[in-house]
Structure 1
Amino acid sequence: MTVSNIARWASALGGLLAVTASWALEPMATPLAAPVTANVRVAFTPGDDAAGQIIDAIRQARKQVLVQAFSFTHDGIARALIDAHKRGIDVKLIADTEQTGKMKREQVTGMARAGVPVWLDGEHQSAHNKVMVIDAGQPSALIVTGSYNFTRAAQHKNAENVVFIGGNDVLVRSYVANWQRHFAHSRPLVLH
């Protein structure tokens, strides 16, 4: 990817891509050493209402929700992202190219049809991240991550975990930088 392409993508993001071109395209050379202070809570399935907690986190967003998803079939989470977009929250989704093509349910294309910007990451065998970064740069910034795909099966059939991490700006910036790296090689979802 050329510097001009990165500038074009940065412009499309409204300035979100605030890292240097070379750093955005290269993997992190060393592990992140983040401060150990954070507000952390977890949810486990089966048992906990992880989907409900994710939906609540999306509803509390005030500025932005960046999403990376491998598989996405959960109606309620998709609806919460669409609703956030409709109330003016900057929602952006990067989904796995191959998995999105295999899904029988159309939450990803449904979000795109509702106006949520969606990109497809086909650069890897699997774009297997399951991440939301909510309100990066704000005091209320929150990372949602874990083994939990945004699917009905993750809530009702699988043994999964979701970790909610707040109060750690260094970690939030690291997750945003990772989102940006994947965005740099992703392609917009084209609806037909």
Structure 2
Amino acid sequence: MQPTVRRAEIQELDAVAAAFVKGSADEAVTAWVVADHPEVAEAFRAEHAPRLVERAIHDDEVWLAGTDDEIWAVSLWQKVTSADRVIAEAAEMRAMAEAAPGVRPMERLRTLTALLAEHHPREFPHRYLQAIVTVPEHRGKGAGGAILADRIKAYSDASETAFLEASTERSSRLYARNGFVRTGVTHTLPDDGPTLIPMWFRG
């Protein structure tokens, strides 16, 4: 069965958040942030991820792939018109880390958001793929690729560009198959963290 792609609606927030949590559990950056801190992983599942998805549905775009009654993959897309948002998020995380000194996941989030704020391209406007995850039992069915193909066609038709940071070599190959091109720069997170691979789609 081929997955279909559609935009998420607020009334299905609980189902979308649940799928996002399942798909994010072993995502490279998330796993690095919460490593050896099960209480932080639980807070991510119970609090942070649902808030992130809710905000994305309200303020940005959440695109899903799957069947009529089952979500296979979730993606969060922003339309970026300035650097204000990433700078504000980095400042917020810096304040939170300073309020909880010595808590490693908070330090890692501060490092991550500072890096993203510093290196996010100042080429506006553009679409930004904040996250795309697939529920484990539905991996290998083409759900992530279906979302990418759908969004890239829409952005190409609208003469829009799109940017992302791949967190693994494998995911970078999927993005490349859908028209994204590496910038030639990478950013490796400390403490054996993943290497982020910035990529552009320019139509």
Instruction: Tell me if both proteins adopt one fold, taking TM over 0.5 as the criterion.
Output: no
Structure with higher RCO (Cα < 8 A, 6+ apart): 1
So what's the TM-score if we normalise by structure 1? Answer: 0.32
**Greater helix percent: which structure?**
2
